[in-house]
Amino acid sequence: MNVHWTPTVQAHRMKKPPQTSHYRLRENARAKRVILKVRPHEGLEVVIPRGFDRRLIPEILEEKRTWIEQAWRSLEAQGLSPSEPPELPKQIQLPAIGKTVTVSTVRQNGPAVELIPSFHKATVTLRGAVTDRAACLTLLQEWLKRLGRHCLPPLLQRLSRETGLSYRKVQIRGQKSRWGSCSAGGTISLSWKLLFLEPPLVRTVVVHELCHTVHMNHSQDFWDLLSRLEPEAREKDAALRDAVHAVPAWANWKPREPVRE
């Protein structure tokens, strides 16, 4: 695959924000209450139940300020500052497609960073203001998303023909907590982070979502269908829960979003 793509990202200086004024907000339909997490390199995450009044969040954060600051200091003491993005990878292991990609940097004057990929040589070069890790990580994630768009839809098409299960269209996204999903209209969304998994697990995820085109739930009928198509589906489903650790921190990193009033 020849990918001629040299996007740029403007470099910027990151300043440590007040611990409770910046956070990432995530809605979880299964959550019963508000959950606060301070994650390495990612900072504060606020998980809310579906339908929760977001205007209440600032008050909750103020009440938990002491705990948040203690958690923040604990991570900093371990060298895992939430205020800074992770280090750039030197190599990217992509088991799903059997590739190990070498990442190199070329520092040049200027305010921007560009990414120059060579798939056949299995290299990615970041050139420009490469001291801006946030800009570099953003480009690496965008490149992997493009790679996912190239590699994952053909697999979905092949497994659709193999299983006889059809879908309407496919989307490649960067979900953090889900490998894939299927809408009632037959749209299958797959995470580009599947590239970090072994091929048998990727296959299981894809077949799992195809089965949702028949059963939009996890009923016994769903599991019966999936198990016929993937005899070790339940074992692989358990392995997928552990497989989140195969995704490196830099691939999950996102700049913190400001508080939404």
Q: Per-domain residue ranges for the chain? A: 8-12+85-147, 22-82, 151-246
Domain 151-246 belongs to what topology? Answer: Zincin-like (3.30.2010)
Helix (H, G, I), strand (E, B) or coil at 129: coil
Q: How many CB atoms lie within 10 A of CB 118?
A: 13
User: pLDDT of 142-181, one tens digit each?
Assistant: 999 999 999 999 999 999 999 999 999 999 998 877 899 9
Give CA–CA dist 13/47, Å, rounded: 28
Amino acid 77: pLDDT: 72
CA end-to-end span of the chain: 45
User: pLDDT of 219-233, one tens digit each?
Assistant: 999 999 999 999 998
Q: What is the pTM of this model?
A: 0.71
Q: How many CB atoms lie within 10 A of CB 195?
A: 23
126-155 in b/e burial notation, b at 16+ Cβ within 10 A? bbbbbebbbbbbbbbbbbbbbbbeebbbeb
